[in-house]
C-alpha cells in the first residue's frame, strides 16, 4: 500500500487502485500518532510514550511501570520490532539492542507502551472513498510471540464494541481500501485498547475468506471502478476457527508447553480450517521446512553459517 499510495498518480493510468491517500497511510502506520488519535476519539489505548533520543529513553527507564512494551513506531509489514521488558535494566538493554539491530535513527526510535494483559482481537474493513463497505472481526486464540504478536490460531467473532472502535478510527482517517485495527481486550475491565493500525492486507486474511468475507474480491471490484454495496457483520460466519500450524502455531506451543495439546488438537481436527492444501503442496512443504529450521534453532541454537 505504501508505494501505491505514494505513486498513485503515476500508477492510475496503468492499473486500477483501491488505496488510501498518502497522508492517511502515513498517519495510520505511525503508532505514536494513532495512539494520540485514539485518545482524541475516545478509543481505548495503552499509555504510550515517544522519545527523541536513546538517552531520553534510558532516563525514562526508572519511571516506567513494568512490564512495559518496546515496539517499532512504524508499521512496516516486515520483521516486528517488539520486546516485553520487566525491569529498568532489561528495558535499557533491550531498547539499545533493538535500535542497534534495526539501525534506527532518532526520527524512528521505538515507542514505549503500557503492557495490556488480555487477548488479541482484530477489526478488519474495506472502505471505499471514506465509506465502510465490509467488516470482519476475529479473536486471537494463540499468537507468536505468545505474549502478543501475529495470529497462529484465530476465530471469527462479532462484537459491536470492537466494530464501533475500529470504525471510529478508520472513519476519522477517511480511509480507502483495506485495513486492520489491532486491539487487545484488557482482562482487567474487558475494554478494547488499540495496539496499531495495519494499513494493508493482513496475515490472517485466510480466516476472513473461510468465513465468507472476500476482501480480495472487494479490492478488485473497487479498483475496477465498481461501487460496492455495504455489507455488515451479519454477512460472514462467526465461530470459524483457523490454524496456521507450520506458520507459528507449533512455535507458540514450544513457547507455552501447556498449550501444545490444544495446538495439535486443532492441527488434527478436520473442522478447524488450515493453510494446508494437498492439491497445492509446495507452500506446505516450504512452511514445514521453515518451521523445522526455527525449531532446530530454538532447541540447538543458531546453526553456523
The pLDDT, as a whole number, for residue 303 is 47
For residue 114, the cross-strand partners are 68
pLDDT, position 61: 95
- List Cβ neighbours of 81 (8 Å cut-off, separation of 6 or more): 70, 71, 72, 98, 102, 104, 110
Contact 284, 254 (CB under 8 A): no
Q: Are strands 118-128 and 111-114 parallel, antiparallel or unpaired?
A: unpaired
As given in the structure block, the three cell numbers for residue 246 are 507450520
**How far is it, in rounded angstroms, from Cα 190 to Cα 138?**
16
Q: Which ranges of the chain have pLDDT less than 50?
A: 303-305
List, in order, residues 6 or more apart from 204 with CB less than 8 Å away. Answer: 122, 138, 150, 151, 154, 242, 244
Query: Which three three-digit cell numbers place residue 59?
Result: 532516563
Among residues 121, 119, 125, 120, the alpha carbon closest in space to that of 236 is found at 125
pLDDT of residue 27: 96
Record the pTM. Answer: 0.92
What are the tens digits of pLDDT across the range 171-202? 999 999 999 999 999 999 999 999 999 999 99
User: By the 8 A CB rule, do 153 and 241 touch?
Assistant: yes
In angstroms, rounded to a whole number, what is the distance separating the alpha carbons of residues 151 and 154?
6
Amino acid at each position: 500500500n505504501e508505494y501505491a499510495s505514494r505513486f498513485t498518480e503515476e500508477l492510475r493510468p496503468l492499473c486500477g487502485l483501491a488505496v488510501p491517500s498518502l497522508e492517511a497511510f502515513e498517519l495510520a502506520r505511525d503508532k505514536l500518532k494513532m495512539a494520540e488519535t485514539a485518545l482524541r476519539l475516545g478509543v481505548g489505548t495503552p499509555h504510550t510514550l515517544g522519545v527523541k533520543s536513546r538517552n531520553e529513553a534510558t532516563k525514562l527507564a526508572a519511571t516506567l511501570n513494568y512490564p512495559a512494551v518496546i515496539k517499532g513506531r512504524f508499521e512496516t509489514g516486515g520483521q516486528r520490532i517488539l520486546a516485553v521488558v520487566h525491569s529498568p535494566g532489561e528495558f535499557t538493554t533491550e531498547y539499545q539492542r533493538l535500535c542497534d539491530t534495526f539501525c534506527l535513527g532518532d526520527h524512528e526510535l521505538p515507542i514505549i507502551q503500557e503492557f495490556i494483559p488480555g487477548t488479541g482481537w482484530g477489526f478488519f474493513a474495506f472502505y471505499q472513498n471514506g465509506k465502510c463497505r465490509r467488516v470482519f472481526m476475529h479473536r486471537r486464540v494463540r499468537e507468536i510471540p505468545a505474549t502478543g504478536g501475529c495470529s497462529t490460531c484465530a476465530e471469527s467473532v462479532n462484537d459491536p464494541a470492537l466494530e464501533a472502535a475500529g470504525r471510529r478510527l478508520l472513519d476519522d482517517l477517511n480511509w480507502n481500501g483495506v485495513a486492520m485495527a489491532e486491539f487487545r481486550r484488557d482482562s482487567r475491565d474487558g475494554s478494547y485498547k488499540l495496539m496499531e493500525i495495519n494499513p494493508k492486507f493482513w496475515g490472517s486474511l485466510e480466516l476472513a475468506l473461510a468465513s465468507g468475507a472476500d476482501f480480495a474480491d472487494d479490492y478488485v471490484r473497487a479498483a475496477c471502478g465498481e461501487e460496492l454495496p455495504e455489507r455488515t457483520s451479519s454477512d460472514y460466519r462467526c465461530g470459524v476457527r483457523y490454524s496456521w500450524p507450520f506458520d507459528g502455531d507449533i512455535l507458540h506451543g514450544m513457547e507455552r508447553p501447556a498449550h501444545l495439546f490444544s495446538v495439535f488438537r486443532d492441527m488434527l481436527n478436520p473442522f478447524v480450517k488450515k493453510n494446508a492444501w494437498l492439491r497445492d503442496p509446495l507452500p506446505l512443504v516450504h512452511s514445514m521446512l521453515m518451521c523445522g529450521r526455527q525449531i532446530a534453532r530454538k532447541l540447538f541454537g543458531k546453526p553456523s553459517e
